Amino acid sequence: MSNHIGFTPTKRESVYHLFPYWYIACRSDELQKKPKQIQLWNTKLVLFRDSHQRAYALLDRCPHRNVPLSLGRVQKNNLECHYHGWQFNHLGECTKVPASIKGENHSRRVPSFPVVEKQGYVWVYTDPDSEPNHLPYTFAYMDDPNYVSIRFEYEFDATIFSVAENILDVPHTSFLHGGLFRSGTQNIINWQVKRYPDRVECEYKDEPRPSGLFGRLLSPSGGTVQHFDRFILPNIAQVDYGMGETGKIMTTSSLSPVRDHQTKMYTVATIRKSRLFGIFRPLLEPVVLKIIKQDAVVLQAQSANQREFQGEEYTFHSTDVLGPSISRLMREASKEARILYDSNYSVAQEFSGKIRT
Amino acid sequence: MSNHIGFTPTKRESVYHLFPYWYIACRSDELQKKPKQIQLWNTKLVLFRDSHQRAYALLDRCPHRNVPLSLGRVQKNNLECHYHGWQFNHLGECTKVPASIKGENHSRRVPSFPVVEKQGYVWVYTDPDSEPNHLPYTFAYMDDPNYVSIRFEYEFDATIFSVAENILDVPHTSFLHGGLFRSGTQNIINWQVKRYPDRVECEYKDEPRPSGLFGRLLSPSGGTVQHFDRFILPNIAQVDYGMGETGKIMTTSSLSPVRDHQTKMYTVATIRKSRLFGIFRPLLEPVVLKIIKQDAVVLQAQSANQREFQGEEYTFHSTDVLGPSISRLMREASKEARILYDSNYSVAQEFSGKIRT
Amino acid sequence: MSNHIGFTPTKRESVYHLFPYWYIACRSDELQKKPKQIQLWNTKLVLFRDSHQRAYALLDRCPHRNVPLSLGRVQKNNLECHYHGWQFNHLGECTKVPASIKGENHSRRVPSFPVVEKQGYVWVYTDPDSEPNHLPYTFAYMDDPNYVSIRFEYEFDATIFSVAENILDVPHTSFLHGGLFRSGTQNIINWQVKRYPDRVECEYKDEPRPSGLFGRLLSPSGGTVQHFDRFILPNIAQVDYGMGETGKIMTTSSLSPVRDHQTKMYTVATIRKSRLFGIFRPLLEPVVLKIIKQDAVVLQAQSANQREFQGEEYTFHSTDVLGPSISRLMREASKEARILYDSNYSVAQEFSGKIRT
């Protein structure tokens, strides 16, 4: 985040500081008439909607006396500060100073952050007063009537890297989540990783059909399992299961860095409709929540330890299939802005191995 | 505060650090037999009274083992430490070490701060072991039988500048306090500011007689309103309403910097006695408290935001009639000691304008 | 504590930073099947027992993803991380990575701290991966059937120096503990201090026989009182009362630095058995606890003040009989490792004086 526009971002603790990109600030239905304060990369922003329901984001600090603008209210298309009633438009320009006789406003602008609202989320671009050269990520299948999409959110006390890797890490699932996620039988699975300039993908091959409800939900009629895990810059972690012709269960998590050791996960779970879905549906949330909470406990302890020992000090091992690639992408993206979602990108590197699970 | 006498003042966050001056430490009736710990400019002091009820102030740290002397008790005219029973007189000199055979005391003194008690307040001078060249501020009319004086206190989570400006700022009253303070009708008022070396005064001219109880209390028989707002170094904010020959309602607030973002306000409201006062009296405190609490909420949010964004970053506007002058006086007074309350001072600068309220 | 093995100890606030020595980590019965997190010198360690009940200590951070190993469990002789199930032996070597096919482990070790368990305590040496050149302190009389030994613990919010001096400081007892500890009559006592390279000892001479139960317990048949106070590097504070041939009441406190301003005291009170002991026994703990709590209140206020004023600033006085020697020993031992408990050491310095108590 640039600091040439009159504010000092607070000191960052994590090594993973991303260049300006789009992040989800909140769900669309969380932003109503009242202005809403959110945080991205340790910086407080205020979101508000104008009279046409368009969403905007400003730095949450009035340039006059530094009061949070989120204490105020929207007056037509302007955000009004609670202290002296100064008003600001969506560009952060001062449009009214009530006590002024001649309508003298003030030239100091509030930094304004690009906003795009789509698919039920309010996205904010973390470089103020700039023109993003790309659009936010698009969740697949959300508008396809053959699919059901379920949203959920969770806030972790952990860095964005830790959460991203956790979502895409296979080895911990059979250990930390034990019986919940994978059966006790030990399998050896072949994996193949493909690195692209803006993403990394792992295909797990010859994976046996998941047992139990999950497997039957995935494909009632059986078939070959296809399993891809993907990390897409700057912040998308995707677990993609397919089976046979049509079976599909995919979770796509967009991670928003709140503070260095606080990350909000916005997940869309997309499931191909089937006759079993009605049975599966009521079980989905309790099971998913139980898995997430097990992860959250470990990630919080990890984060507390990193603060205690003053830094992240990781060891990468051959069973960390995606971790090193995610770390490398994030570190590169924190040094220079990456062009994202470019369909012309070709594989930059490829390697494979086996894992016990 | 000097640091040549053996203690390190804690780091200050605000830009407004005043040179040594007098500040109210507490109300006289708050300092009884038990020593009392207070804070000024981030530094803990202990107040105590000797057997003649004279009040004194020492740094609240025993030079022997650094225990707060406020844990102890007064023995005759000395303050006794709770740990080893060492005693110190009002100059901070060690007068007794109980375990000593030959009565060897210790030469290390506790820094001692000048104290003056007057008009029901204990004032402390923030340079230890020094001779102040002036006396604390005197509240006017307190001893005049034609006036009633009411005291109240409030502790704000905000810098001393923020509180001083808030008290003397007219534009926010019609906005933040809305219906409570000023009526809905919009007036244009002429103001004239006079800057002196130790103070700044604003006269509001042609201000219509306040409506309602406040106006009738001010002057039952009508007349022309006179309204002055004053900031007097280092810490006095005064709102002075007169009407006709005798009408007078004046609030004088002496602000004590507790911590950089914590300020205690000691206010004396002085009102010319009239037959309406009995009606007005019971309403006074609830209305004043409501106004103060509205301010306190905004000031606390402002202060939290300044800490969040690591500093005060103000914009001054033509409707900030007194703010820039207060800021300038405080900044100058934080660089060099100012001679205060000098009746020979003449106006250094004068300017005027209009404001909508 | 060395930092050449891959971790950064957190910043220390106190001037008393000791070189690597043995400290009590916990009582033996506090370390059961579940791994236990403890802290020494601001550093989190995990203690665990192998299948033979031997105790070990590792740095409480998995080298893989920095999760505290104390969240995990012991599997045979290895400590298993809760996140990915990696296992580590008592040397901190990685012995299992469950997801690995070929059993590839990882070469990065967890720093391992020497442990000795004796006399009901688990002692840890604060230099990882090293060979201590001496053994932990041995409490005297613990195995002698003529003596009763009573253990108790207390955690003070204070530096290790403050607690050590407090235990061995005579003047505060008659003041802070007033009637509880010593009678109101004033005595003048001769003291003689002997400094050794690893310890300092004070003998109090011609001390009258303590009055009341304490005196009768010490020696029912009367006799001459012998009173020694000792500080032994790095952390032993001993109060040793003898009377006549056999009377003996000795408290030996081993102090463990948890954080700079947090110190855990492990005390063994050793008392020569006598027919009065049965009467005395039920009174012992309430009286001792009352004395400790009075000290704890003062030490906590002292510690808070030192943080407030950013440092320890002591004045040493002739009545501080042992304080300056303890301070000197600790300062020296924080610069270079001292050889401890060397029976060949002779007195390095000797001086004497009188004290009123």
DSSP string, B87-121: EE-TT--EEE-TT-SS----SPPPPEE-EEEETTE
On the question of pLDDT at A57 being above 90, the answer is yes
A196 with A227, same domain: the answer is: yes
Rounded Cα distance between B63 and B48, Å, is 17
On the question of pLDDT at C278 being above 70, the answer is yes
A78 with A209, same domain: the answer is: no
3-state secondary structure A187-245: CEEEEEEEEECCEEEEEEECCCCCCHHHHHHHCCCCCCEEEEEEEECCCEEEEEEEECC
Q: How far is CA B105 from CA A187, B109, B114, B355, in A?
A: 80, 10, 23, 64
pLDDT tens, position by position, A109-165 = 999 999 999 999 999 999 898 899 889 999 999 989 999 999 999 999 999 999 999
pLDDT digits (tens), chain B, 357 positions: 333 334 444 455 555 566 789 999 999 999 999 999 999 988 999 999 999 999 999 999 999 999 999 999 999 999 999 999 999 999 999 999 999 988 777 778 999 999 999 999 999 999 898 899 889 999 999 989 999 999 999 999 999 999 999 999 999 988 898 765 545 567 889 999 999 999 999 999 877 776 666 666 666 666 778 999 999 999 999 999 988 777 889 999 999 999 989 999 999 999 988 877 777 788 888 888 999 999 999 999 999 999 988 888 899 999 999 999 999 999 888 888 788 888 889 999 999 999 988
Q: Which helix (H) or strand (E) holds B24?
A: strand B22-27
Beta carbons of C54 and C91 less than 8 angstroms apart:
no
Contact B64 C314 (CB under 8 A): yes
DSSP SS3 for C292 = helix
DSSP SS3 for C212 = helix
Rounded Cα distance between A73 and A78, Å, is 8
Which position has the higher pLDDT, B208 or C303? C303
DSSP SS3 for B145 = coil
On the question of pLDDT at C26 being above 70, the answer is yes
**Cα A311 to chain center, whole Å?**
23
Tell which residue, B29, B26, B84, has the closest CA to residue B57.
B26
pLDDT tens, position by position, A254-276 = 999 999 899 999 999 999 888 77
In a domain, A5, yes or no: no
Q: What are B348's two structure tokens?
A: 């250094």
Sheet harboring C236-243: ordered strands across? C147-156, C262-272, C247-259, C236-243, C225-232, C199-205, C188-196, C349-356
C107 with C51, same domain: the answer is: yes
Q: Which helix (H) or strand (E) holds C49?
A: strand C43-49
Cis peptide before B234 (omega within 30 of 0): yes
Question: Which of C66, C80, C110 to mutate against chain A (most A CBs within 10 Å)?
Answer: C66
Q: A183 Cβ partners below 8 Å, 6+ apart?
A: A211, A212
- Domain, as residue range, for A60: 22-125
A182 with A287, same domain: the answer is: yes
Beta carbons of C267 and C152 less than 8 angstroms apart:
yes
Which position has the higher pLDDT, C31 or A248? C31
**Cα C131 to chain center, whole Å?**
21
Tell which residue, A144, A152, A169, A282, has the closest CA to residue A217.
A282
Q: What is the pLDDT of residue A10?
A: 46
Contact C309 B66 (CB under 8 A): yes
| CA-based nearest distance C352→chain A, Å | 46
Rounded Cα distance between C142 and C119, Å, is 8
Per-residue burial over C74-113, b if 16 or more Cβ lie within 10 Å, else e, is: beebbbbbbbbbbbbbbebbbbebbbbeeeebbebbbbbb
C186 with C39, same domain: the answer is: no
A167 with A27, same domain: the answer is: no
Q: What residues of chain B lie within 8 A of the CB of C355, using their CB?
A: 99-101
On the question of pLDDT at C12 being above 70, the answer is no
In a domain, A114, yes or no: yes
User: Domain with B102 in it: what CATH number?
Assistant: 2.102.10.10
Place of tokens 């400094």: C195
In single-letter form, the type of residue at position A148 comes to V
In a domain, A14, yes or no: no
In a domain, B12, yes or no: no
Q: What is the pLDDT of residue A37?
A: 98
Q: What residues of chain C lie within 8 A of the CB of B61, using their CB?
A: 305, 309, 313
User: Domain with A207 in it: what CATH number?
Assistant: 3.90.380.10
Beta carbons of C23 and C126 less than 8 angstroms apart:
yes
- DSSP per-residue codes, C223-273: --EEEEEEEETTTEEEEEEEETTTEEEEEEEEEEEEETTEEEEEEEEEEE-
Rounded Cα distance between B228 and A332, Å, is 61
Q: Which residues pair with B271 in a beta bridge?
A: B148, B249
The pLDDT confidence band at residue C179, using thresholds 50, 70 and 90, is low
DSSP SS3 for B155 = strand
What average pLDDT is seen over chain C?
A: 88
Question: Which of C168, C191, C315 to mutate against chain B (most B CBs within 10 Å)?
Answer: C315
Contact B355 A101 (CB under 8 A): yes
pLDDT tens, position by position, A276-316 = 777 778 888 888 899 999 999 999 999 999 998 878 889 99
Dihedral pair phi/psi, residue B353, rounded to 5°: -175, -170
On the question of pLDDT at C357 being above 90, the answer is no
Q: How many domains does chain B have?
A: 2
C184 with C311, same domain: the answer is: yes
Beta carbons of C319 and C171 less than 8 angstroms apart:
yes
In a domain, B183, yes or no: yes
B117 with B174, same domain: the answer is: no
Q: Which helix (H) or strand (E) holds B297?
A: helix B277-308
Contact C10 A310 (CB under 8 A): yes
DSSP C33: S
Contact B356 A98 (CB under 8 A): yes
Dihedral pair phi/psi, residue A281, rounded to 5°: -45, -55
Contact A7 B313 (CB under 8 A): yes
DSSP SS3 for B306 = helix
Residues of A with CB under 8 A from a CB of B: 6-8, 10, 44, 60-61, 63-68, 71, 82-85, 97-101, 104, 106, 108
C282 with C221, same domain: the answer is: yes
The pLDDT confidence band at residue C4, using thresholds 50, 70 and 90, is very low
Task: Name the pairing type of β-strands C22-27 and C36-40.
Answer: unpaired
DSSP A243: E
Q: What are B137's two structure tokens?
A: 């501020």
Query: Of C95, C125, C155, which marks where a domain is finished?
Result: C125
Q: What residues of chain C lie within 8 A of the CB of A174, using their CB?
A: 98-99
B189 with B55, same domain: the answer is: no
In a domain, A160, yes or no: yes
Tell which residue, C261, C330, C249, C257, has the closest CA to residue C296.
C261
Tell which residue, A329, A349, A346, A347, has the closest CA to residue A338.
A329
Contact C44 A305 (CB under 8 A): yes
N- to C-terminal Cα distance for chain B?
Answer: 40
In a domain, C7, yes or no: no
Contact C66 A306 (CB under 8 A): yes
Report the residue count for chain A: 357
Q: Which residues pair with C36 in a beta bridge?
A: C47
Give pTM, 2 decimals.
Answer: 0.91
In a domain, C56, yes or no: yes
Rounded Cα distance between A54 and A48, Å, is 8
3-state secondary structure C59-99: ECCCCCCCCCHHHCEEECCEEECCCCCCEECCCCCEEECCC
Sheet harboring B55-59: ordered strands across? B36-40, B43-49, B55-59, B112-113
Q: Which helix (H) or strand (E) holds C278?
A: helix C277-308
Rounded Cα distance between A247 and A224, Å, is 10
Rounded Cα distance between C118 and C138, Å, is 8
Rounded Cα distance between A150 and A139, Å, is 12
Q: What are A349's two structure tokens?
A: 């590197």
On the question of pLDDT at C348 being above 70, the answer is yes
A192 with A337, same domain: the answer is: yes
Question: Which of A67, A75, A93, A258 to mutate against chain B (most B CBs within 10 Å)?
Answer: A67
DSSP B69: G
Tell which residue, B250, B252, B242, B17, has the closest CA to residue B136.
B252
C92 with C154, same domain: the answer is: no
Average pLDDT over every residue of C326-346: 88
Q: What are C73's two structure tokens?
A: 């469990």
Rounded Cα distance between B236 and C346, Å, is 68
Q: C227 Cβ partners below 8 Å, 6+ apart?
A: C203, C204, C207, C240, C241, C242
Does residue C41 come out as left (phi exceeding 0), alpha (psi in the -120 to 50 range) or beta?
Answer: left
Q: What residues of chain A lie within 8 A of the CB of B169, using their CB?
A: 84
| CA-based nearest distance B215→chain A, Å | 22
Dihedral pair phi/psi, residue A175, rounded to 5°: -95, -65
- DSSP per-residue codes, C147-205: EEEEEEEEEESS-HHHHHHHHH-SHHHHHHSGGGTS-SS--EEEEEEEEETTEEEEEEE
Beta carbons of C68 and A301 less than 8 angstroms apart:
yes
